[in-house]
Amino acid sequence: MKPGKIFWALFLTAAATCFISCGSSESGSNNGNSQQTTAQNQAVSGNNAKFAFGVPDIEGNVHQFSDYIGKPLIINFWGTWCPPCRRELPDLKQIYAEYKPKGLEIIGLAVKDSPDQVKSFAQKEGLDWVMLMANREAASAFELGSGVPFTLFVDKNGNVIDRAIGARDYNFFKQRVEKII
């Protein structure tokens, strides 16, 4: 095979891999089919000691997950360096603008970024939701696999209603948010 063809074959393979998800070994979502165990559904409730941990924001202030129980939540693991993450941000912004008046909160958990990188990127892109720095406890508690974006949809009672691995669009987010509002 000619060197030019090898280059393009490798380039297209790498681009397709990154397009699907940044580093994920899993794909898809449960698409609303609630096949989660009772433990998973109760995992984020304030009564579960598994979630009694703090996560620093981009200013260094520690947030407790239990502080957000009582609000419908989108918890989004992402990175400034991740093309699929960046691709879904405009749709998340639109969802947040529409549903924030109804109580929706988005928590962004940045992976493999510095607080300064996240702060600068969030300001530049107009991301005005809570930005936290993902840590080992958050990744473990929310069962983050090996890739981002990874998004959880949590109802007001702290139950995980759905999860998505890989970039999603406005319609996907809207359908899930309607289930947790």
Mean pLDDT of the chain: 78
Q: What is the pLDDT of residues 68-87, one digit of tens each?
A: 889 999 999 999 999 999 99
What is the distance between the alpha carbons of residues 63 and 61, in angstroms, rounded to a whole number? 7
pTM: 0.74
Taking residues 6-18, report their average pLDDT. 36
- CA 21 remoteness from chain centre: 12
pLDDT for 58? 95
In this prediction, residue 115 has a pLDDT band, given cuts at 50, 70 and 90, of very high
What CA–CA distance (Å, rounded) separates 86 from 84? 5
Domains of the chain: which residue ranges?
3-180
Which has more confidence, 30 or 144?
144
Range of weakest confidence among 33-37, 100-104, 170-174: 33-37
SS (H, E, C) 84-97: HHHHHHHHHHHHHH
Instruction: Tell me the per-residue pLDDT of 46-69, one tens digit each, with 9 for 90 and over.
Output: 434 555 678 999 999 999 888 888
Which contiguous run of DSSP H or E holds residue 74?
strand 73-78
Nearest by Cα to 56 from 131, 117, 122, 120: 131
Buried b (16+ CB within 10 A) or exposed e, 51-74: bebebebbeeeeeebbebbebbbb
d(CA 77, CA 112): 10
CATH classification of 3-180, choosing from 3.40.50.300, 3.40.50.2300, 3.40.30.10, 3.30.930.10?
3.40.30.10
User: Which has more pLDDT, 137 or 52?
Assistant: 137
Tally Cβ neighbours within 10 Å of residue 109. Answer: 24
